[in-house]
């Protein structure tokens, strides 16, 4: 392998198919010594299986990056055999004051412990975006809130926990994905806010956190105020002038996955890799196609050989990636003792927030849960829903996320005169769900409404007398809600959003 092609391979991380190292993958990695691999849900069955997989990868590559998205909440690639941690917004709700920020730090350290047992060494977390838009479900509860300074503080505490636990933290998505209503996995979002707004809002968490950070990840967005015609991932103005020059970031700049439609449908994944490196990125990510990864390495090498990608720029990127790799920590034993046993459950309980009325169940109440299998870019496939009936003796009525008229009629009939506990999931997005909830509240004004995802459903139904939020439908969050409703535990959560996004309409 030529020196330039080896440099090119050293600035690419890729995902792959399967739960073990195939002969084809082994041969590929020996021929194309990538900077590292990225684990996704399809690579994961059990914790011991993931550990065996990562042990094999380290036996093939020397000191590779083994990266994963393990944020907590709905974006967590490993769930079996690890502590489940609620969402960033749930952590923010549980951290009612600055004195309780240790929830964020402890969550990060517990995640780091579990990732090191799995053999990972880089976490693409925490999210430093702001929750600014009601329809922004791609970020939503993944953010620590909408106050930029508080988001910076909590994201910083979470990252310090990851780092203390031996995992490299990666702040994302620079320069800020929070004000978009388009999912960059599907299309290219455009941020229309002016520069003064972005500097006083979206950029603040990054400006406060990045000077001492080891890694950051780009956003596939167009921030018109900074560069009108190019996504941030391939913008020299954003990745070099702003990120390096103004914010003094010295670590590794990862691109978000270049196979996301925001890039793949426009510039194209292979071409974007070259343009991202020219712009100032250091490591390009490809999530699930090793043939594409090989072509991308070749394309980077050709661009360096013909002078389009200046060789010093490629050498600089490879050196930064190599420095990061040299400081990564080895795995922990599978049987090691957890630093914060039960932290997920404590956050799930601590996050439950009563917006108005009271959150108490009574004998004979029934739960109405709006739920369906979904497939979202950041989360992947989601068909496991924790149930209140797992924690209390309550009858549950299940309905689709966006029920039609017949389903709405069925739900009303099955409630049968009992007081309903209505578990909503994005009724502010799904018209059929909103209609169903309106009908339930008209028939049962004393119903309890619990908003299980983004908390905006709490403000979609002003007629609801009793409203609570959990900021997630993961197991600890539902267990916490059940403890409040059925066991009389106090709801101590503090609503973590203040801005215009909570306004109805």
pLDDT digits (tens, 9 = 90+) for 26-60: 999 999 999 999 999 999 999 999 999 999 999 99
Please tell me the distance from the alpha carbon of residue 184 to that of residue 394, in angstroms, as a whole number: 39
Q: What percent of the chain has pLDDT over 90?
A: 89
Same domain, 193 and 274: yes
Say yes or no to pLDDT of 116 above 90. yes
At 53-96, the pLDDT tens digits run 999 999 999 999 999 999 999 999 999 999 999 999 999 999 97
In this structure, is residue 45 part of a structural domain? yes
In this structure, is residue 467 part of a structural domain? yes
418 is catalytic: no
123 is catalytic: no
In this structure, is residue 417 part of a structural domain? yes
Last residue of a domain, which of 326, 341, 365? 326
Q: What is the pLDDT of residue 133?
A: 86
Q: What is the pLDDT of residue 134?
A: 84
In this structure, is residue 20 part of a structural domain? yes
Same domain, 70 and 154: yes
Q: What is the pLDDT of residue 72?
A: 97
Same domain, 377 and 448: yes
Same domain, 315 and 357: no
Could you identify the residue written with the tokens 């980077």?
A: 300
In this structure, is residue 342 part of a structural domain? no
* Average of per-residue pLDDT across 320-329: 98
3-class DSSP state of 448: strand
In this structure, what CATH number is given to the domain that contains residue 49? 3.20.20.300
Q: Tokens standing for 123?
A: 């976490």
Q: What is the pLDDT of residue 344?
A: 97
37, 57 contact by CB (below 8 A): yes
Which of 131-135, 262-266, 336-340, 405-409 is the least confident region?
131-135
In this structure, is residue 334 part of a structural domain? no
In this structure, is residue 336 part of a structural domain? no
Burial of 149 (0-12, 13-18, 19+ CB in 10 A): exposed
Q: What is the pLDDT of residue 196?
A: 97
345, 480 contact by CB (below 8 A): yes
* Average of per-residue pLDDT across 247-274: 96
* Average of per-residue pLDDT across 373-383: 62
Q: What is the pLDDT of residue 229?
A: 86
Say yes or no to pLDDT of 288 above 50. yes
In this structure, is residue 337 part of a structural domain? no
Same domain, 413 and 299: no
> What are φ and ψ of residue 255, in 5° steps?
-80, 155
Say yes or no to pLDDT of 2 above 90. no
Same domain, 58 and 107: yes
* Average of per-residue pLDDT across 172-190: 86
Q: What is the pLDDT of residue 504?
A: 46
Same domain, 259 and 356: no
Active-site entry in 185, 220, 385, 418: 185
Say yes or no to pLDDT of 500 above 90. no
Same domain, 285 and 370: no
Same domain, 301 and 397: no
Say yes or no to pLDDT of 20 above 90. yes
Q: What is the pLDDT of residue 183?
A: 75
* Average of per-residue pLDDT across 404-429: 96
Please tell me the distance from the alpha carbon of residue 285 to that of residue 114, in angstroms, as a whole number: 23
At 438-461, the pLDDT tens digits run 999 999 999 999 999 999 999 999
Please tell me the distance from the alpha carbon of residue 466 to that of residue 485, in angstroms, as a whole number: 12
Same domain, 310 and 423: no
Q: What is the pLDDT of residue 378?
A: 64
Largest CA distance in the chain: 75
| Closest of 209, 66, 186 to residue 127, by C-alpha | 209
The enclosing H or E element of 366 equals strand 366-370
Say yes or no to pLDDT of 280 above 60. yes
Same domain, 174 and 293: yes
Active-site entry in 69, 256, 282, 474: 256
Burial of 341 (0-12, 13-18, 19+ CB in 10 A): exposed
Task: Please count the structural domains in the chain.
Answer: 2
- Place 505 in a pLDDT band, splitting at 50, 70 and 90: very low
The residue segments making up the domain with residue 159 are 13-326
Q: Is the pTM of this model over 0.85?
A: yes
In this structure, what CATH number is given to the domain that contains residue 456? 3.40.50
Q: What is the pLDDT of residue 138?
A: 85
Same domain, 314 and 358: no
Q: What is the pLDDT of residue 99?
A: 52
The overall average pLDDT reported for the chain is 94
């Amino acid at each position: 392998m030529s020196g330039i092609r080896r440099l090119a391979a050293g600035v690419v991380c890729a995902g792959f198919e399967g739960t073990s190292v195939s002969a084809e993958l082994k041969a590929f990695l020996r021929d194309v010594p990538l900077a590292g691999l990225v684990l996704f849900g399809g690579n994961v069955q059990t914790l011991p299986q993931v550990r065996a997989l990562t042990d094999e990868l380290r036996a093939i590559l020397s000191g590779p990056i083994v990266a994963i998205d393990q944020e907590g909440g709905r974006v967590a690639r490993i769930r079996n055999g690890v502590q489940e941690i609620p969402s960033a917004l749930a952590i923010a709700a549980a951290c009612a004051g600055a004195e309780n920020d240790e929830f964020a730090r402890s969550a990060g350290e517990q995640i780091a412990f579990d990732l090191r047992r799995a053999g990972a060494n880089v976490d693409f977390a925490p999210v430093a975006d702001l929750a600014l838009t009601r329809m922004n479900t791609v970020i939503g509860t993944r953010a620590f809130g909408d106050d930029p300074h508080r988001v910076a503080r909590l994201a910083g505490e979470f990252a310090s926990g990851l780092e203390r636990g031996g995992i490299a933290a990666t702040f994302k998505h620079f320069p800020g994905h929070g004000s978009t209503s388009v999912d960059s996995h599907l299309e290219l979002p455009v941020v229309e806010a002016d520069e003064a707004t972005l500097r006083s809002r979206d950029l603040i968490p990054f400006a406060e956190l990045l000077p001492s950070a080891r890694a950051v990840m780009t956003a596939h967005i167009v921030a018109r105020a900074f560069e009108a015609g190019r996504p941030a991932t391939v913008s020299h103005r954003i990745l070099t002038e702003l990120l390096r020059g103004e914010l003094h970031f010295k670590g590794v700049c990862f691109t978000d996955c270049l196979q996301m439609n925001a890039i793949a449908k426009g510039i194209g994944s292979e071409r974007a890799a070259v343009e991202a490196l020219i712009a100032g990125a250091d490591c390009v990510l490809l999530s699930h196609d090793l043939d594409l990864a090989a072509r991308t390495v070749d394309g980077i090498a050709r661009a360096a050989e013909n002078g389009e990608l200046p060789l010093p720029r490629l050498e600089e990127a490879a050196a930064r990636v190599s420095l990061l790799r040299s400081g990564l920590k080895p795995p922990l034993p599978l049987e090691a003792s957890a630093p914060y046993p039960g932290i997920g459950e404590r956050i799930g309980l601590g996050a439950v927030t009563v917006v108005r009325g009271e959150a108490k169940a009574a004998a004979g109440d029934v739960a109405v849960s709006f739920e369906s299998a979904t497939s979202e870019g950041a989360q992947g496939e989601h068909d496991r829903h924790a149930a209140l009936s797992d924690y209390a003796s309550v009858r549950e009525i299940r309905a689709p996320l966006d029920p039609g008229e017949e389903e709405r009629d069925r739900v009303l009939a099955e409630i049968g005169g009992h007081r309903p506990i209505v578990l909503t999931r994005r009724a502010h997005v799904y018209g059929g769900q909103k209609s169903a909830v309106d009908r339930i509240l008209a028939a049962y004004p004393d119903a309890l409404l619990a908003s299980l995802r983004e908390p905006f459903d709490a403000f979609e139904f002003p007629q609801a007398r009793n409203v609570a939020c959990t900021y997630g439908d993961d197991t600890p969050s539902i267990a916490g809600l059940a403890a409040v409703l059925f066991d009389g535990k106090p709801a101590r959560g503090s609503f973590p959003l203040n801005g215009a996004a909570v306004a109805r309409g």
